């Protein structure tokens, strides 16, 4: 009987994979590609302004694109009420 590769594989452990570059908000982040510190920040990633190396945002991995949902109770106000 043949054993499959899947049965010999250990469980996935993300801490054991080594260095994982992410953009940390509020800190000086050096680009792993060119070493500079100028970034263009998006919702899910940051891109180096010089060499275009992209890094995921650390906060985007844990909080998602909408961390705080907004719920309306009762009737939802219209645009004219919100602009007033």
- Convert the pLDDT of each residue in 18-76 to its tens digit: 777 889 988 999 999 999 999 999 988 999 999 999 999 987 755 555 555 555 566 66
Q: Which two tokens stand for residue 33?
A: 């590609």
Burial 9-27 (b: 16+ CB within 10 A, else e): eeeeeeeeeeeeeebeeee
Q: Tell if the pTM clears 0.75, that is, is over it.
A: no
Among 67, 52, 55, smallest CA distance to 27 is for: 55
**Which residue blocks in 1-84 are alpha helix, DSSP H?**
5-8, 58-63, 79-83
């Amino acid at each position: 009987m043949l054993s499959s590769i899947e049965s010999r594989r250990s469980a996935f452990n993300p801490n054991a994979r080594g260095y994982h570059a992410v953009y940390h908000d509020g800190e000086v982040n050096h680009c792993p590609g060119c070493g500079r510190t100028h970034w263009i920040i998006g919702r899910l990633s940051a891109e180096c302004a010089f060499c275009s190396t992209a890094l995921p945002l650390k906060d985007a991995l844990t909080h998602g694109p909408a961390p705080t949902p907004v719920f309306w109770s009762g009737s939802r106000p219209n645009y004219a009420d919100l602009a007033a």
